[in-house]
């Protein structure tokens, strides 16, 4: 039954969300998607148990999920929230980042990384990536952009790959900066959360494990984590679960807080998903290894970023097309072949809102990478034959052009 669930195809709904599909039954053409969540009977049972319990928000399942997540990542505790965006925002608030502060950020990321800096009134300072082969924040470019106002760095673990921790810790210590790990792509990776002052994770529907929406926070300092726990629920000193167990209706508000809580339904799904995370990440690694072999053989002009064998969650499968390839035409040809692709990412500093707010940003390596990057399907529901299919279709598309 477990294998049947893993190979159940899915389809996209409105706004790019992912849902279970019965395409074969409806006569629809099966599309190989970039990402698919794996959901089945265990998740359904967990949801039913929550509904039957009558307690659907901020209960024992949320606490169990936090403890299990912390254990998997080798830390003592964690705080569950309703998105990675919330996690990043709370981290910046708890670390005291605010107006007049600057934060070093990548542009090769999702906009939430930047938005959270703006939420606290700080100024994002865009930093280029190191190279086409290593599209992680460049420590040399970061060094050139540090000023007396710089207070923090947000290191985004693109595609699930972690930057060199010793180099960045040394950099942060030299400039008296805090490190925030944006680990939306890197859940379950060995070493994630170990060198940042705080770390944010995502459980969005296309991530390595999902709760539909949701996030988690790790922090080096227990006091910071405790503050984040209180801030996620309006700054209230005792949540409903604590008041029930303490047999008191009384509470206080001692800080400005937010409505960033996780509910019991999502935590129940998270507990089920977390048990399978290591297996799913291993499957992603296996598929990535096959991709590297097939692409090297069939598409030698296509660059696969990062060193083979590097520790990673293998969240996405990015490739760099040859400089003379028309990416939009490649996308169209692959779509005709029943293969969805996407782009990770359009540089944030080039998007209209940010280009207007920060008009003079130039990041040549990020821009070159983003102009040629294409993300191929990668998720544990795939089999090796589908990797062969994608590699062959990509080779055909490049030859056709």
Cite the active site residues: 207
Distance (Å, whole) CA 188 – CA 313: 7
The residues that bridge with 215 in the sheet, in sequence order, are: 81, 202
Residue position matching structure tokens 């209960």: 59
The residues that bridge with 137 in the sheet, in sequence order, are: 129
Distance (Å, whole) CA 102 – CA 120: 11
Distance (Å, whole) CA 227 – CA 239: 13
Residue position matching structure tokens 């167990």: 245
User: ω into residue 216 within 30 of 0, thus cis?
Assistant: no
Q: Is 395 helix (H, G, I), strand (E, B) or coil?
A: helix
Are 127 and 148 in contact, with CB atoms under 8 Å apart?
Answer: no
Query: Edge to edge, what strands does the sheet with 102-106 contain?
Result: 79-81, 215-219, 198-202, 178-182, 150-156, 102-106, 123-127
- Of residues 165, 210, 160, the one with CA closest to residue 184: 160
Distance (Å, whole) CA 312 – CA 4: 27
Strands 150-156 and 178-182: parallel
CA angle, residues 109, 113, 117, in degrees to nearest 5: 145
Distance (Å, whole) CA 107 – CA 115: 12
Q: Is 281 helix (H, G, I), strand (E, B) or coil?
A: helix
Report DSSP letters for 169-189, one per residue: HHHHHHHT-EEEEE-TT-TT-
Radius of gyration of the chain (CA): 22
Task: Tokens for 198, please give them.
Answer: 């705080």
């Amino acid at each position: 039954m477990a294998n049947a669930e893993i190979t159940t195809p899915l389809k996209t709904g409105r706004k790019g969300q992912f849902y279970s599909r019965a395409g074969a039954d409806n006569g629809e053409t099966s599309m190989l998607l970039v990402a698919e969540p794996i959901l089945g009977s265990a998740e359904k049972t967990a949801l039913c148990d929550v509904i039957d319990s009558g307690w659907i928000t901020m209960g024992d399942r949320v606490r169990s999920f936090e403890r299990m997540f912390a254990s998997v990542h080798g830390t003592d505790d964690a705080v569950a929230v309703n998105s990675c965006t919330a996690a990043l925002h709370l981290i910046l608030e708890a670390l005291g980042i605010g107006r007049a502060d600057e934060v070093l950020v990548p542009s090769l990321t999702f906009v939430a990384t930047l938005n959270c800096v703006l939420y606290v009134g700080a100024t994002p300072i865009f930093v280029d990536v190191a190279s086409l082969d290593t599209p992680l924040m460049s420590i040399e470019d970061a060094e050139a952009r540090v000023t007396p106002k710089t207070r923090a760095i947000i290191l985004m673990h693109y595609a699930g790959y972690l930057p060199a921790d010793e180099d960045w810790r040394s950099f942060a210590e030299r400039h008296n900066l805090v490190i925030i790990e944006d680990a939306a792509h890197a859940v379950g990776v060995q070493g994630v959360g170990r060198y940042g002052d705080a770390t944010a994770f995502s459980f969005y529907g296309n991530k390595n494990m999902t709760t539909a929406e949701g996030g988690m926070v790790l922090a080096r300092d227990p006091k910071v984590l405790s503050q984040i726990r209180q801030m996620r629920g309006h700054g209230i000193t005792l949540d409903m679960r604590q008041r029930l167990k303490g047999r008191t209706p009384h509470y206080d508000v001692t800080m400005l807080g937010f409505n960033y809580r996780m509910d019991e339904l999502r935590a129940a799904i998270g507990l089920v998903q977390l048990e399978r995370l290591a297996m799913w990440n291993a499957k992603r690694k296996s598929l990535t290894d096959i991709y590297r072999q097939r692409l090297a053989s069939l598409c030698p002009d296509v660059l696969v970023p990062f060193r083979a064998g590097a520790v990673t969650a293998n969240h996405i499968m990015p490739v760099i097309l040859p400089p003379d390839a028309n990416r939009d035409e490649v996308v169209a040809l692959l779509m005709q072949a029943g293969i969805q692709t996407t782009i990770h990412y359009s540089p944030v500093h080039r998007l209209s809102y940010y280009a207007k707010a920060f008009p003079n940003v130039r990041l040549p390596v990020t821009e070159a990478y983003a102009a040629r990057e294409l993300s191929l399907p990668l998720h544990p529901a795939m089999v090796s034959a589908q990797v062969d299919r994608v590699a062959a279709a990509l080779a055909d598309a490049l030859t056709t052009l």
